[in-house]
Structure 1
Amino acid sequence: MDTFLLIVTFLIGYIIYFLIKSMKRPTDFPPGPQFRPWVGNSFELRKDAIALSGQHMAFENWSKKYNTDILGLKLRDELVVVVLSYTLVHEVHLQEVFEGRPDTFFLRLRTMGTRKGITCTDGKLWYEHRNFAMKQMRHVGYGRTQMEQHIEKECNSLLTYIENTKSEPIWPGTFLAQSVINVLWCLTAGQRIERNDKRLVKLLDLLNRRSKVFDLCGGMLTQFPWLRHIAPDKSGYNLVRQMNEELHHFFMETIEEHKKRLTPENADSDLIFAYIREMNNHLGAENSTFNETQLTMTILDFFIAGSQTTSNTLDLALMMLATRPDIQQTISQEIAANLKFNTDEFPHLSARTFYPYLDAFIMEVQRYFHITPITGPRRALWDTTLGGYNIPKNTTILIGLRSVHMDKTHWGDPDIFRPERFIDSEGKTIKDEYFMPFGQGRRRCLGDALARACIFSFLVKIIQNYKIECAETDKPSLILQPGITLSPKPYKVKFLVRE
């Protein structure tokens, strides 16, 4: 009996010890909600995110509650810090110590059970493959004339699609992503995908569903991976698995086809050819990181970086043009003045200095709607400090871009949609340091060049040819749908041919 009591006492003491330990904050850790036993702040974050329509709103609410612009919390056993001011966001963007990525269940699930690709990796693998991929993408025209030529061709296809709507009400969100993806796919695989390709339609639907099911922290799957066993559908696990399988099959079809056609003459003509050549050059080499899994994950990173955020920004821009005819009229007049003597001249991004109001309008759409309100996640590579607080090694850092883009002290009237805030007294656009939709530093968004070029050129050509009006039903809403990225609620507009 004494032995039994001793064992029970030991177990109770053991449980109490770990219970107290799970609630203890690290020394000089940023302020925030009290850690709950075992689960940290996981459940209260989820509860507040649902109530306030987004994780970013929960963080901002906590920031006010604890009177701090740097929050410290715990999601199960993961320490998390959220930065919510320009100074701190700028520091996290540029400091090497914050260039790491967390190694969580959800991030590994995103990359098909691996920790590969570019977006979700760090260290040597990240340096090597980011540099290789960006070098090869530039070689095939990323951010240069060749990309502009792809954009021009895809823009013509987009205008044809709009023409075929015959001014019937339609939601732009149903067709914009295909146009953006095709520009990227031409650079990646050297070919475009037909708009009615069932595989592409299915993949874009999966990406769209994924963005709404998860938040930046991967939903509850990251903190409680065992949920996949008891609630595979509700937790989103089956959705990601399905998307992984579809993407892998889609990418591997193209990779296998490239292998058959690889020659010395075309080895640099697109990213996949260049990567296969690099794999062949590393055959037999010890510790080589060039393999098919890494290639598929690299393609996936560009696929995600170049699709949803860009098409959602275009979607929101068209929505605002429909709801603000005054702004649309000003942009239309600016475009007409620039194309007065040559209506066939294609408006590439390099010409944006001649379109200061349109340029300012695009920036205001990105600032006002902040479709990626929380970015990251980053990982502290070693013990460090931030904002006067201690940040232990491996702490996850989340970056509050919305708080910077809606900083009332800096912007004055951030809740007002006003493109003029980006125009100076001479009528030229202003580069504001608080405006950072693509991030900063070496972790800057992979798809920024594609996004900026597509958004600008597509909008010029659409506004040049069509007047956008709200439909009588399905009116636009300024309240966006939460998720990994924010997206507009379905609405409909009419594209009316300009006289």
Structure 2
Amino acid sequence: MNIILVGIFFITFFFYLINQIKRPSKFPPGPIWFPIVGNQVQLRILSKSLGGLHLALSYLSQKYKTGVLGLKLGKEYIVSVSGYPLIKEVFTREEFEGRPENFFFKMRSFGRLKSGITGTDGIGWSVHRSFVLRHFCSMGFGKTPMDAMVKNEIEEVLQILKNSRSNIRLSKLFAPAILNILWTLVAGKRIARDDLFLDEMLDLLSKRGKMFNVTGGVLNQFPWIRYIAPKWSGFRLIEYINGKLKKMISTTIEEHHDTWEEGRDDDLIYSYISEIKKSKNNPIFCDEELVVVCFDMFIAGSQITSGSLDLLFFMMTQYPEVQKKVQEEIDTKIGRESYIEYADVKRLPYTYAVLMEVLRYSHVAPIAGPRRVMRDTTLEGYFLPKGTTVLLDFHTMHYTQEKWSSPETFKPERFLNEKGEFSTPENFLPFGLGRRRCLGEVLAKHCLFYFFVEVMRKYSVVMAPESEAISHLLLGITLTPENYKATFLER
């Protein structure tokens, strides 16, 4: 009897292992995966040796000669898509508009799946996205009122540089400014730079960004590991960050409830409370959802836009000849004291080309936010089962030799036509495309332009002496320069 039971066990285990490594019929090509872990170990090793997950995916796509690479991480089917035509197709097809329903996205939304804007899909996402855009437009999003907020933050940055121009850590210079622009739109107030809470949050968010990648890492694939190694897996850090942020956001929402009155809509929270009161029986609008919406804004401001500014000025320290050309254009077309508005982009084509080339050459987010296949479908003839996670490889798209001449070279001129006018190549999609196009694209472009021009026309930036040897990017959910310091020389 015991022998029979043991035999049944081993047969069952054998078929379990076979099922674990079996690829679905017509699933995209890629490396073989192993029971339980899938390609997790292989990707970690490749990412570390090549310099990032985006480079590991690019390497595997080239090795298997495919723009649709099939992988498995734990139980999750993963497909990495590269090349402009395929990425554009994913961006514009409805069945690819979902977000993964996994442990990492649940943690990100304070334990709520399908919540907020960034981490959800379907009706909830559509309603919240429309609501936020409508509110921002009413507050002058992309117009003079928003520009005034941006310029107020720039004035503070310029004052900081005036008082101390040596050994400036740029990650500490721009992140509070960008976050405060968004927080003013969301909560109607700024967080003072000398507020220890602000400094702590920026440090914690930076650590969060370095500990994980867009797949969510080991913690996402094996949530049970949080019970065995809560610190190593990043679970303890996520819990701590979420606790701090949720308390701050919830306290702000409570203060708004106490001071709310009908018709008040001078910030996002007041407008949302009005919507809650109008839609008492609509579960889409509630305080729990509002917390996640505010968190979405917080994350976007502290990482993507500020990280792009950090990279922008880092690149100016690496290419002083480009910096000089930018300053000459600004001096000639605008001057050092004239009032600047966003329409001046057209008068500064080379300067704007530099901004876009930085987004291409050193993209903060080389892999777009993951998508979830919402129903069984095909891509390039391959079968993608419902629930498959899709990663969009921006890095490969922006480094394709056939589309970009000498892609490894930093060359702003690639964004200028023969008349010297700014021209956007068709295959350049730093903010995505389609209905899930980046919600903060307008704000990001305005911030990048204003901060860059205002600083460049007053200062030249060089690497601080102790930072001169630094030349690589730190890996994580986003890519950022190593914590370097810069010196600003008054012009």
Identify whether the pair has TM-score above 0.5, normalized to the shorter chain. Answer: yes
SS at match of 1:142: coil
Q: Does 1:117 align with 2:116?
A: yes
| 1:246-325 alignment runs, 5 A limit | 246-265=244-263, 267-283=264-280, 285=281, 287-325=282-320
SS at match of 2:78: strand
CA displacement at 1:470 relative to structure 2: 2.4
Query: Does the CA-based 8 Å contact 2:364-2:480 persist in structure 1?
Result: yes
How much identity, in percent, do the aligned residues show?
A: 40
TM-score normalized by structure 1?
0.96
Counterpart of 1:212 in structure 2: which amino acid?
Answer: K
The number of residue pairs the alignment matches comes to 490
What stretches of structure 2 of length at least 5 have no aligned partner? none
Distance 1:386 1:90 in 2: 12
SS at match of 1:80: strand
SS at match of 1:473: helix
Query: Does the CA-based 8 Å contact 1:199-1:250 persist in structure 2?
Result: no
Counterpart of 1:447 in structure 2: which amino acid?
Answer: G
Query: Does the CA-based 8 Å contact 1:379-1:395 persist in structure 2?
Result: yes
| 1:61-72 alignment runs, 5 A limit | 61-72=59-70
Deviating 4+ runs (over 3 angstroms): none
Distance 1:7 1:323 in 2: 68
CA displacement at 1:91 relative to structure 2: 0.7
Distance 2:102 2:44 in 1: 18
Q: Does 1:191 align with 2:186?
A: no
2:137 corresponds to which residue?
138
Distance 2:170 2:36 in 1: 45
1:4 corresponds to which residue?
2
Q: Does 1:36 align with 2:34?
A: yes
2:419 corresponds to which residue?
426
Distance 1:189 1:351 in 2: 30
Distance 1:475 1:17 in 2: 56
SS at match of 2:79: strand
2:18 corresponds to which residue?
20
Please, which of 72, 75, 78 is the counterpart of residue 77 of structure 1? 75
1:343 corresponds to which residue?
337
1:328 corresponds to which residue?
323
Q: Does 1:445 align with 2:438?
A: yes
Q: Does 1:379 align with 2:372?
A: yes
Counterpart of 1:169 in structure 2: which amino acid?
Answer: N
1:212 corresponds to which residue?
210
Counterpart of 1:82 in structure 2: which amino acid?
Answer: S
CA displacement at 1:476 relative to structure 2: 6.1
Please list the CA deviations of residues 269-319 of structure 1 after superposition, one character each: whole Å capped at 9, or x if unmatched: 110000011111222x1x522111110100111111222111111111112
Query: Does the CA-based 8 Å contact 1:372-1:485 persist in structure 2?
Result: yes
2:404 corresponds to which residue?
411
Please list the CA deviations of residues 389-437 of structure 1 after superposition, one character each: whole Å capped at 9, or x if unmatched: 1111111100000001111111020000010110111110011121111
CA displacement at 1:38 relative to structure 2: 2.3
CA displacement at 1:224 relative to structure 2: 0.7
Query: Does the CA-based 8 Å contact 2:399-2:408 persist in structure 1?
Result: yes
Distance 1:223 1:81 in 2: 15
CA displacement at 1:6 relative to structure 2: 2.5
SS at match of 1:148: helix
SS at match of 2:105: helix
Query: Does the CA-based 8 Å contact 1:422-1:429 persist in structure 2?
Result: yes
Query: Does the CA-based 8 Å contact 2:175-2:301 persist in structure 1?
Result: no
Stretch deviating more after TM superposition (410-419 or 35-44): 35-44
SS at match of 1:410: coil
Query: Does the CA-based 8 Å contact 1:332-1:464 persist in structure 2?
Result: yes
SS at match of 1:203: helix
Query: Does the CA-based 8 Å contact 1:349-1:452 persist in structure 2?
Result: no
TM-score normalized by structure 2?
0.97
Q: RMSD of the TM alignment (CA)? A: 1.3
SS at match of 1:445: coil
Distance 1:143 1:233 in 2: 42
CA displacement at 1:8 relative to structure 2: 2.0
Distance 1:75 1:481 in 2: 23
Distance 1:245 1:303 in 2: 14
Distance 2:20 2:206 in 1: 36
